[in-house]
Amino acid sequence: MNDQRLQSPAAARNRQPILDVLMAVLPSDARVLEIASGSGEHAVTFAGAMPGWSWQPSDPNPHARRSIEAWREHAGLANLHPPMAVDVTAVCPAGPHDAVVAINLLHISPWEVTEALLSCAGGQLSGGGVLFLYGPFKRKGRHTAPSNASFDADLRQRDPRFGIRDLDAVVEEAARCGLLLERLVDMPANNLSVVFRRA
């Protein structure tokens, strides 16, 4: 049997801490759109933990979508929907969504992706809806750990458009889209959970 389920060590490490934050900020019946779902491990974990959540994964990469679908079929969860092909710079799936979730996306994509994601969330979240971001961020222009500085340098060497984002710049752009910073949570490996809420 050809098992197309991809596995990420990072996803295995951070899924429970991320789930804890999501459970604290989302209602038990939330309609969730996940942007750049990657392997699909987060989607299947979160949908399995919260059967009242309606979880819509997406990814522009067909290889990732095959993995997401393989995880979905393996888990057999009614509340985990087939993955959508979404490039957020080109299309924003119509809402209303109670939450838009993006895990480890901002630093491995051009700034235009961050702008498009924030605009999408601002336009398609329900009133009081949540945008949840997870990953490494600079604080006031500075890296929060030497390992993050090294990671940032490696990212920019791979693609000059990539790199760890300054949280202040993200918050400022989010505000332009009607999204207000509600909560910051320190996470494992010098990452942050960043929670915005639509006014």
| In-domain check, residue 108 | yes
pLDDT digits (tens, 9 = 90+) for 52-77: 999 999 999 999 999 999 999 999 99
pLDDT value of residue 1: 46
User: What is the structure's pLDDT at 176?
Assistant: 97
Is 117 a member of any domain? yes
Q: Are 194 and 134 in contact (CB under 8 A)?
A: yes
In a domain, residue 3? The reply is no
Residue 193 — very low, low, confident or very high, per pLDDT cuts 50/70/90? very high
d(CA 140, CA 149) in angstroms, rounded, equals 14
User: Which residue in this structure is represented by tokens 């895990």?
Assistant: 103
- Asked whether residue 2 is domain-assigned, the answer is no
143 part of a folded domain: yes
CATH number for the domain that contains residue 40: 3.40.50.150
Q: How many other C-beta atoms are found inside a 10 Å radius of the C-beta of residue 9?
A: 7
- How many CB atoms are closer than 10 A to CB 194? 24
Parent domain of 144: 9-198
DSSP state of 142: B
Per-position DSSP letters for 175-192, written without gaps between them: HHTTEEEEEEEEEGGGEE
Check: CB of residue 149 under 8 Å from CB of residue 90: no
Report whether 133 contacts 102 (CB < 8 A). Answer: yes
In a domain, 94, yes or no: yes
User: Does 116 fall in a domain?
Assistant: yes
On the CB side of 182, CA atoms within 13 Å amount to 18
Give the number of domains in the chain.
1
> Tens digit of pLDDT for each residue in 159-172?
999 999 999 999 99
- Asked if 143 and 164 count as a contact pair (C-beta separation under 8 A), the reply is yes
